[in-house]
Amino acid sequence: MPQVRRLSPGDIADVRALNALYGDAFADRETYRADRPDDEWLAAQLAREGTIILVAEQGGRIIGGLTAYDLPKLEAARSEIYLYDLAVDAAFRRRGVATALIEELQKIAAETGAWAVFVQADYVDDPAVALYTKLGVREDVMHFDLPPLPRG
């Protein structure tokens, strides 16, 4: 099994490697490689308590990772953790890497008192749907992207 660890502000090269992995895994290099933030931006994001970046490493190489965010709630004194991105290098899939990453996130959720970890999946992404169904309870919801509006 690979080693799973949480990235910290000094792990800039690892964030860049994870973004490259995301770009390859999601076949979306434009999003994950084109507008590359500078080191200062990445370090600031890694320093945020509510940003959770985990990587799975084997032989000194990042073979998987996830990005999650702790979302404080107002209706109760608790938070939820949103698993935003999760990817495993194609050569290492179906070996428990994604499950190990999610289980580490679940441990962080328990340590921080989070109410739940939630994640979205596309209906056509059968491997993701199968993984999340194995690990949790499925809810069918709709997702909408709303554009920001300028004031004025």
Domains in the chain, number: 1
User: For residue range 44-88, what is the model confidence (pLDDT) as tens digits?
Assistant: 999 999 999 999 999 999 999 999 999 999 988 889 999 999 999
CATH code where residue 130 lies: 3.40.630.30
Spatial separation of the C-alpha atoms in residues 108 and 82, rounded to whole Å: 12
Do the domain assignments include residue 144?
Answer: no
Do the domain assignments include residue 148?
Answer: no
Structural domain boundaries enclosing 90:
3-135
User: For residue range 35-54, what is the model confidence (pLDDT) as tens digits?
Assistant: 688 999 999 999 999 999 99
Maximum distance among all Cα pairs of the chain, rounded to whole angstroms: 54
Which pair of tokens denotes residue 106?
A: 């679940």
Q: Are strands 79-88 and 61-72 parallel, antiparallel or unpaired?
A: antiparallel
Do the domain assignments include residue 140?
Answer: no
Which of 126, 121, 114, 125 lies closest to 139 in space, CA to CA? 121
Do the domain assignments include residue 12?
Answer: yes
Do the domain assignments include residue 122?
Answer: yes
Do the domain assignments include residue 66?
Answer: yes
Do the domain assignments include residue 9?
Answer: yes
pLDDT band at 105 (very low <50, low <70, confident <90, very high): very high
Which of the two residues, 133 and 63, has the higher pLDDT score? 63
Sequence-distant (≥ 6) Cβ neighbours of residue 29 within 8 angstroms: 23
